[in-house]
Amino acid sequence: MKIISWNVNGIRAVERKGELESFLSSQSPDVLLIQETKATPDKLSKNLLENQDYVSFYHSAEKAGYSGTSIWVSRKIETELSWLPGLPGYEDNEGRVARIDFAGLSILGVYFPNGGKSADAWDDKLVFYRCFLDYVNQLRLDGRKVVWAGDVNCAHEEIDIARPKENKKSIGFLPEERAWVTDVIENSWDDVYRKKYPDSVIYSWWHLISKARARNVGWRIDYFFVDSALYPLVTEINYLNDQMGSDHCPVSLNINL
């Protein structure tokens, strides 16, 4: 199974640029996890709602033009799907968690809060982190195979950020956030890319205004995590740095499920 996660920074914009069509044509994922759709279904084109090759599900934010997640599943996968948006114990009115179930497998696409707008937003980010880890831990306890991915809005270690010293006090690289990612790993959720490539320097997000992508001054804040028991089934993971259309690049995982 080929699963790709991509923060598109506006699904209508990436479609308008022609990047979504070229991406789907070249990559052909079995499952596509999309973050930051920034649209409600009534604002989407027929292609985004009724794509000939994919069944799509949307979990939109209540606020127009903000946040939102979506999952696209290839029509070649002929099995019963269950769509479960939201996060138990957390008021997910920003469309941050999308989940699809295939029998005993749960795949989640997540757009974690940034937390930088205010003190309340920061506190909310930490609450979200705790609720989400409890959620996936419970799914595993329930006997489900779990894969989750998305924009975690945190660079875990210094290798994951181009300028760690300059950003020690920046949202996305603060000790509390980084400690949470460590806690995730200690709960037997493997950061697939970092486990497979412990010394590789690669980024998934670049600041648009400063044209940081051209200089590759970036952050690795987009991840795939799998239950440690599933890690041996992973065959490949890649950051698709050449894919344009967003300030994030897609992350692609191949796993034998």
Residues belonging to the chain: 257
Q: What's the CA gap between 27 and 14, in Å, rounded? A: 15
Q: Please name the residue ranges forming H helices in the chain.
A: 11-16, 19-27, 46-49, 119-141, 175-186, 192-196, 212-215
Q: What's the CA gap between 122 and 127, in Å, rounded? A: 9
Spell 124-150 as b/e; 16+ CB within 10 A means b: bbeebbeebeebbbebbeeeebbbbbb
The widest CA-to-CA distance across the chain, in whole angstroms, is: 49
Catalytic one among 92, 151, 160, 191? 151
Q: Which two tokens stand for residue 162?
A: 């181009």
Determine whether 42 is an active site residue: no
**Phi, psi dihedrals of residue 153, rounded to the nearest 5°:** 60, 40
**Phi, psi dihedrals of residue 35, rounded to the nearest 5°:** -115, 155
- CA angle at 141 for the pair 6 and 75, rounded to the nearest 5°: 40
Characterize the bridge pairing of strands 2-7 and 31-35. parallel
DSSP string, 31-60: EEEEE-----GGGS-HHHHS-SSEEEEEE-
Q: Among all chains, which residue has been given the structure tokens 């997000």?
A: 205
Q: Catalytic residue numbers?
A: 151
